[in-house]
Structure 1
Amino acid sequence: MNLKEKCGQNGSLVGRSQPHLGEEHQEHEKAVASAGAEVYVKQEANGKQEIPSKNLNMYTWQEIQRHNQDADQWLVINRKVYNVTSWANRHPGGRRILKHYAGEDATDVFKAIHPKLDVVQLYLKPLLIGELAPGEPSQERNKNSELVKDFQELRKTVEDMKMFDVNRAWFFLHLAHILILEFLAWLTVYQFGSGWCVTIFIAFLLTISQAQCLFLQHDAGHNFIFKKSKWNHVLQNFVMCHLKGLSGKWWNYAHFQHHVKTNVCPKDPDVNMAPLFLLGDLQPVQYGKKKIKYINYEKQHLYFTMVALPFLVPAHLTMKSFRMIYFRRDWEDIAWVSSFYIRHFISFGPFYGIFGTLLLIYFVKFLESPWFTCVTMMSHLPMKISTEENRDWLSTQVLGTCNVEQSFFNDWFTGHLNFQIEHHLFPTMPCHNYHKVAPLVRSLCAKHGLQYVNKPLLKAFGDIFRSLKKSGALWKAAYYET
């Protein structure tokens, strides 16, 4: 029996996938996998190839790169070629991520995004169709093979340093900090009533709590805090849905697209703001030459202050989350998000009533929005924003992200998102370890001539508006060009 027939018989491994690879799925897949398959998985995780080449088809990069369409998607991992077309709609991270890497080498992004490679390999194995021909390089010919090799060695180094091990005490102290703020808000209204001064103080406490919820969810969404997947799933729903009132699955689908193609238009949803705002150097010129003017983009940095800062969280993010829950009919998310509003009605309803409690919830989101918007955009908007250039993983992340100087306040205020370079290179690394690997990343960037940007917090905030103003000026020059 040839390899293709074996893959076909194991196709049920793919067909039963769920949005989250729970413990029951992992145990089931490991049970049905043969001893030989388990050895194969371990060999794949280590990048080894012990299946005889005569059982595999050989492909060139020229042929692989043609398979980059919605109905025809191939990608390469550790020199193995996989046809992921049938798996795309069942991919836990959403089908768009696979489409973004179709026809490309996905070795580094595959390792970066998946915290449990042995489990994922069981799902990947039936999709194997061949390998790169012996004369082909491991990456596309336009990529710097030495840089790719050095980064892979760096990843091995930080793995040996146990930098991917989670300190659960750190996470639960962060969670306790949030719950204490929530409790103090309720205790304040219970003790002092619902006067204006009390309400402002309550909103202040809840604003800090809600912002820190997003930062905690961000880290919990990338990491396995518990060994059992089902408990990680519960923790994510508790933080994102119950404490924050947003869909965890919506966050996964949108956020991981941002990670795999950072600052690449239109693949990164975080920089796909047209036609409301034009970002980078290319998009404004394109709009200007086509004489497109939905707003006066020359003043978009001012509109950003009036629209995006206060309304990104209460309007844009909340509506996108609700829209996904509604159209997917996701009853689990509906139940968890409903618990957020029920908890607020129970806690504050007796003092403010239903309508007043809703106003309090969205007033807090309104206050939180500038904080969250500045923290998340300061490391990306001022950096290189481009169309697809098929760069290597290290260059993509370093060119599209920057860091903010470390201090106790900066770490807390940003939820450790001041180490965006390290976070983007190693998304499954817990944030309390970023500062330990930063010197290694800086050294590698210096070796290969990549600029490692690290700036003060206030300058990072100011660069958001300066980059918007610069893009607006580019649009104006192209728009009024005769």
Structure 2
Amino acid sequence: MTTELAMATEAPSAKATGGSDFAQLSRRIAAEGLLDRRAAYYTVRITLVGLAFVGGWVALFALGDTWLQLVLAAVMAVVFAQVGLLSHDLAHRQVFSSRRASEIGGRIAANLCMGMSYGWWMNKHTRHHANPNHEERDPDVAPDILVWSQRQARFATGVAKFIGRRQAYLFLPLLTLEGLNLSFNSFKALRSPTMKRPFLEGALLVAHFVAYFGLVFAALSPGKAFAFIAVHEALLGVYMGSVFAPNHKGMLMVTPDMRLDFLRRQVLTSRNVRGGVLTDVLMGGLNYQIEHHLFPSMPCPALGRAQRITMEFCAEKGIPYYEVGLLGSYREIFRHLHRTGEPIREAG
């Protein structure tokens, strides 16, 4: 940890600053109206994604039984990922202020259209937001398959220990299985006591997969159908992983002994990704990860303006604010994965 980062982890008291640092930043953000709903934006976005989703299934039958369907499978991977990103926004109540409307929309998008449990993902993602990159509390950095810190690597067992030796090289291949992992965990979570509406979620998941497999096998011969599904699932996993991994992987890992207030906990563990409109679209606004973690209900189109305010505020407070290009973020992730696996390699 650098001296600058170490100093930033020692947050000043609220009494010394006349209110917490986050409260001061929040007032600036609210004064700009950046937390207001953006109905027009989400109407257009939902319409475009919905048309792409329906159009993809129409194209499946229009193309017929041809290997060109594998191109469509790749396109549909992108469309499904965009549905997933919309589910994310719905879960954070960026689209609707009503919890009920958000849950209805989220279950339609996630369970019915994408085949991922909204309730399972919501529970997992809420815990991640509360403690990003916390070695013991963030489910996204649990050492189940990969290890995310050298501390985890020293105690790694089973699959994590086996993969951890070469995890930087195996990361992308493993992402091809992420779509299957999301579906598997979605069905597994139906038995969890934390699942609020297991029968509804289960019914929607079954409806999704019956329709998905039914349409693919109705349009294509068995060989082409299996190839379509394999390409679609693999590229969906890579796309989703490539969107979410740059946000935190390779950033500060939080241990129980660290003292971090809310603002520093979110800023120091998050990485923003530079880019233009295309990056915003492909990443669904998650390239503004710092602002998203500070203000989860902030609509996507407000994040750019919020970034400028947050950067200025962090500079005033001496808080390191990190932003890098997309390719640079991937380089940092691979280096981090290789470095964290070092204790396992050294152990032989």
Assess same fold via TM > 0.5: yes
Which residue does the alignment assign to 1:183? 54
Contact preservation (8 Å) 2:143, 2:152 = no
> Would you say how many aligned residue pairs link Structure 1 and Structure 2?
333
Gaps (5+ residues) in structure 2? Answer: 1-9
Map 1:318-467 → 2, pairs under 5 A: 318-327=183-192, 330-345=198-213, 347-352=215-220, 360-361=228-229, 363-388=231-256, 389-467=258-336
Return the alpha-carbon distance in structure 1 between the equivalents of residues 31 and 102 of structure 2: 24
How far is the alpha carbon of 1:260 from its aligned partner? 0.3
1:191 & 1:374 partners in 2: Cα distance? 31
Letter in 1 for 2:62: Q
Please tell me the residue identity of whatever aligns with 1:366: A
Match of 1:297 among 158, 161, 164: 164
- Counterpart-to-counterpart distance in 1, 2:57 and 2:163: 45
CA distance in 2 between counterparts of 1:453 and 1:208 reads 28
Task: Letter of the 2:161 partner, please give it.
Answer: Y
Distance, in Å, in 2 between the alignment partners of 1:249 and 1:355 is 34
Counterpart residue identity of residue 117, structure 2: S
Q: CA deviation at 1:293?
A: 8.3
**AA aligned opposite 2:37:** V
Change (3 A) 1:355 1:144: farther
TM-score computed with the length of structure 1 as normaliser: 0.64
Query: Which residue of structure 2 aligns with residue 221 of structure 1?
Result: 91
The one-letter amino acid of 2:238's match is: P
Q: Normalised by the size of structure 2, how large is the TM-score?
A: 0.87
Gap change, CA 1:335 and 1:353, over 3 Å in 2: farther
- Residues 282 and 386 in structure 1, CA contact (< 8 A), matched pair in contact too: no
Cα separation, partners in 2 of 1:422 and 1:254, compared to 1, 3 Å: same
What's the CA shift string for 1:95-129, capped at 9, x where partnerless?
xxxxxxxxxxxxxxxxxxxxxxxxxxxxxxxxxxx
Q: Deviations over 1:206-265 (max 9, x none)?
A: 111111111111111101533543322211111111111111110110001000000001
Partner of 1:144: 13
Alpha-carbon deviation of 1:359? 6.2
SS in 2 for 1:386: coil
Match of 1:303, as an amino acid?
L
Deviation at 1:464, TM superposition (A): 1.3
For structure 1, list consecutive stretches of 5 or more residues without a partner in the other structure.
1-140
SS of structure 2 residue aligned to 1:323: helix
| Distance 1:296-1:357 versus aligned 2 partners, 3 A rule | closer
Offset of residue 409 of structure 1: 1.1
Rounded to whole Å, the distance in 2 between the matches of 1:153 and 1:455 is 26
- Give yes or no for contact 1:380–1:401 (8 Å, CA) kept in 2: yes
| Equivalent of residue 238 in structure 1, options 108, 113, 118 | 108
Kindly provide the amino acid, as one letter, of the partner of residue 399 in structure 1: L
Aligned-partner Cα distance in 1 for 2:47–2:322: 33
RMSD: 2.7
Q: Distance in 2 between matches of 1:186 and 1:437?
A: 37
Higher helix share: 2
In 2, the alpha carbon distance for the partners of 1:440 and 1:402 equals 16
1:30-429 matches, within 5 Å, as 144-145=13-14, 146=16, 149-197=20-68, 199-223=69-93, 225-274=95-144, 276-284=145-153, 286-287=154-155, 294-295=161-162, 297-307=164-174, 309-314=175-180, 316-327=181-192, 330-345=198-213, 347-352=215-220, 360-361=228-229, 363-388=231-256, 389-429=258-298
Greater strand fraction, Structure 1 or Structure 2: 1
Shift in Å, 1:338: 2.2
Write out per-residue CA displacement over residues 378-429 of structure 1, whole angstroms, 9 at most, x where no aligned residue. Answer: 1211101132224100110111101000301111111111000000011111
Rg comparison, structure with higher value: 1
SS of the residue corresponding to residue 166 of structure 1 reads coil
Q: Please give the alpha-carbon distance, in whole angstroms, between the structure 2 residues aligned to 1:379 and 1:439.
A: 18
1:356 & 1:293 partners in 2: Cα distance? 34
Q: Aligned in 2, Cα 1:357/1:473: closer, same or farther, shift over 3 Å? A: same
Give the fraction of aligned pairs with identical amino acids, expressed as a percent: 23
